[in-house]
Amino acid sequence: MSTYVNLSYCNTKVVVFVKEFLKHPVFNIISEIASLEKLQVYVIGGFVRDALLGRPSKDIDVVVVGNGITFAEKINNHIKGKSKLSIFKNFGTAMIKFQDLELEIVGARKESYRSNSRKPIVEDGTLQDDQNRRDFTINTMAINLHPDAYGDFVDPFGGITDLERKIIRTPLDPEVTFSDDPLRMMRAIRFATQLKFKIDVISMEAISSQCDRIKIISKERIVDELNKIIMAEKPSVGFKLLDKTGLLKFIFPEMDKLKGVEILGGKGHKDNFLHTLKVLDNISKHTNDIWLRWAAILHDIGKPDTKRFSEAGWTFHGHDALGEKMVPGIFRRLKLPLNQKMKFVQKMVLLHLRPIVLAQDVVTDSAVRRLLNEAGDDVESLMTLCEADITSKNDEKVKKYLANFKIVRQKLKEVEEKDAVRNFQPPVSGELIIETFNIPPSKIVGDIKNSIKEAILDGKIQNNYEEAFQFMIEEGRRLGLNYNK
């Protein structure tokens, strides 16, 4: 069954590339120790796949037909002082950091699953056993590192052909592969999205037929794959596959709810799922910030629950504020971080309509000042999100919005230079108000402070102490307070 193909049978360019990689001194060291210890050792999995695809990778999986930890210790002794060894006894793996590489070393293993347990029975195995337990044919390819067969390519499932045909296929029966570890369904979609490959028909059918089994997988593992889909060049591909296979409704029901178009009185609204994916693809051309991409995914998440129909047509009033409120629940369930990153996403969701509203009208200084004040240092990200949000098919509309956004950006620059209102704190403190008018801490102090802020944002006074102080005195007088000079 196993096919041992010498690398020279493959596409010449690819051979040169992989051989180039094998020139790294680390492979010579591994080879030398494999010879001394009389062990069969292979580089396998993602590194081989990526080398063949011409995508250099720094993570190298090494499989030893024997004890992986002992072998790792031997390598580490050889390069002592230049490397860092970590041993994970429970998993039977070891990691060596050497130069810019991370080597993960493991003994070849055989895994068998029983229907009543999710945990596999793991035993020592052959290379073939180890290849059998892997998820996709393109991840099963191995290169021999023993000096007697150095560079030989071991590809029992035709991974190289699938790589050329751009196919994601399981090495064994897909029903079994996906049932054994349902995370592989997400991994199939993740690889298809990252590599622009197709998932073969029977694997797609197997995913669709057992999509509900994703429920037994931890949220951490799921979100890891989801984030890799989100960071792909065109993440919509992955989300459409998640939808097509039925996985989406289990892992991300709020997004599933965005789907569909309702028509009443002959009037329909846009499909918010497809719109969101368009925005996500748009923004992905301009940013690799995963949280800004998450903001694109969630910007309209409040729409299904704010949807109303009236004579005038469909409205989604308040979907920005509701969306902002929904973010923590989604982050908590998906085990995304509940920190400043989440706050940033909330802020983007809440403010995502603001620049559009601004751009629809005459762009005034005071409106720009207010936007700057609320968005603070994230104003650039907000503008990027809003530009990505223009998905209208009406070219004239798109042109008008983009032109207005240019004006908004220009004004943002001018106003910021002139007034420094980004992250601004009113130049007069509450203490000074209390002292000046000899009043106790009370609501009126906050009211005066707020009036000063509004006056600055409206451009009535400049953002400096002198003008703010003068305004405070006038405001106090207007409210009947005594000013003690």
| Spatial separation of the C-alpha atoms in residues 57 and 77, rounded to whole Å | 24
User: What is the residue-wise DSSP string for 155-191?
Assistant: -TT-HHHHHHHTEE--SS-HHHHHHH-THHHHHHHHH
Q: Between 47 and 471, whose beta carbon lies closer to ligand ATP?
A: 47
* Interface with ligand ATP (CB under 6 A), residue from 59, 173, 233, 435: 59
Mention every residue, 6+ apart, whose C-beta is less than 8 A from residue 69: 87, 89, 92, 93, 94, 105, 107
Q: Is 256 in the site for ligand ATP (CB under 6 A)?
A: no
| Local structure of 81: helix, strand or coil | coil
Give the per-residue contact string, 137-156, with ligand ATP (x = CB under 6 A; - = no).
Answer: --x-----------------
**Radius of gyration for the alpha carbons in the chain, expressed in angstroms and rounded:** 30
| Spatial separation of the C-alpha atoms in residues 142 and 127, rounded to whole Å | 9
Backbone angles phi, psi at 85, to 5 degrees: -105, 135
> How far apart are CB 388 and ligand ATP at their closest, in Å?
26
Q: Is 162 in the site for ligand ATP (CB under 6 A)?
A: no
Q: Between 46 and 459, whose beta carbon lies closer to ligand ATP?
A: 46
Q: Residue 229 to residues 139, 203, 274, 465: CA-CA distances in angstroms?
A: 18, 18, 16, 50
| Local structure of 239: helix, strand or coil | helix
* Interface with ligand ATP (CB under 6 A), residue from 74, 146, 169, 184: 184
Q: Between 55 and 478, whose beta carbon lies closer to ligand ATP?
A: 55
Q: Is 134 in the site for ligand ATP (CB under 6 A)?
A: yes
Residue 449, judged by CB atoms within 10 A of its CB (0-12, 13-18, 19+), counts as buried
| Spatial separation of the C-alpha atoms in residues 293 and 219, rounded to whole Å | 19
Q: Residue 49 to residues 70, 137, 274: CA-CA distances in angstroms?
A: 26, 10, 32
Q: Is 380 in the site for ligand ATP (CB under 6 A)?
A: no
Stretch that binds ligand ATP, among 6-14, 167-175, 180-188, 363-371 (CB under 6 A): 180-188
| Spatial separation of the C-alpha atoms in residues 411 and 428, rounded to whole Å | 26
| Spatial separation of the C-alpha atoms in residues 377 and 370, rounded to whole Å | 13
| Sheet hosting strand 101-107, strand order edge to edge | 4-6, 152-154, 142-144, 41-44, 59-64, 101-107, 93-98, 83-88
Q: Is 381 in the site for ligand ATP (CB under 6 A)?
A: no
> How far apart are CB 183 and ligand ATP at their closest, in Å?
5
> How far apart are CB 190 and ligand ATP at their closest, in Å?
8
Q: Between 61 and 475, whose beta carbon lies closer to ligand ATP?
A: 61
- Between the two ends of the chain, the Cα-to-Cα distance in Å is 96
Q: Is 159 in the site for ligand ATP (CB under 6 A)?
A: no
Tokens standing for residue 9: 């049978």
Report the site for ligand ATP in 405-434 (rule: CB under 6 A): none
Q: Between 207 and 385, whose beta carbon lies closer to ligand ATP?
A: 207
Q: Is 169 in the site for ligand ATP (CB under 6 A)?
A: no
Q: Is 352 in the site for ligand ATP (CB under 6 A)?
A: no
Stretch that binds ligand ATP, among 133-141, 209-217, 288-296, 345-353 (CB under 6 A): 133-141
Q: Between 139 and 245, whose beta carbon lies closer to ligand ATP?
A: 139
Q: Is 225 in the site for ligand ATP (CB under 6 A)?
A: no
Q: Is 193 in the site for ligand ATP (CB under 6 A)?
A: no
| Spatial separation of the C-alpha atoms in residues 307 and 310, rounded to whole Å | 10
* Interface with ligand ATP (CB under 6 A), residue from 14, 32, 46, 70: 46
Mention every residue, 6+ apart, whose C-beta is less than 8 A from residue 4: 152, 153, 154
Stretch that binds ligand ATP, among 88-96, 181-189, 208-216, 461-469 (CB under 6 A): 181-189
* Interface with ligand ATP (CB under 6 A), residue from 30, 135, 230, 322: 135
Q: Between 139 and 236, whose beta carbon lies closer to ligand ATP?
A: 139
Residue 272: closest CA among 310, 307, 312, 248: 307
What residue number has its CB nearest to ligand ATP? 46
Q: Between 195 and 434, whose beta carbon lies closer to ligand ATP?
A: 195
Q: Is 203 in the site for ligand ATP (CB under 6 A)?
A: no
Tokens standing for residue 83: 């490397």
Q: Between 157 and 294, whose beta carbon lies closer to ligand ATP?
A: 157
Give the per-residue contact string, 81-120, with ligand ATP (x = CB under 6 A; - = no).
Answer: ----------------------------------------
Mention every residue, 6+ apart, whose C-beta is less than 8 A from residue 270: 261
Chain positions contacting ligand ATP, by CB under 6 A: 45-46, 59, 61, 134-135, 139, 181, 183-184, 187
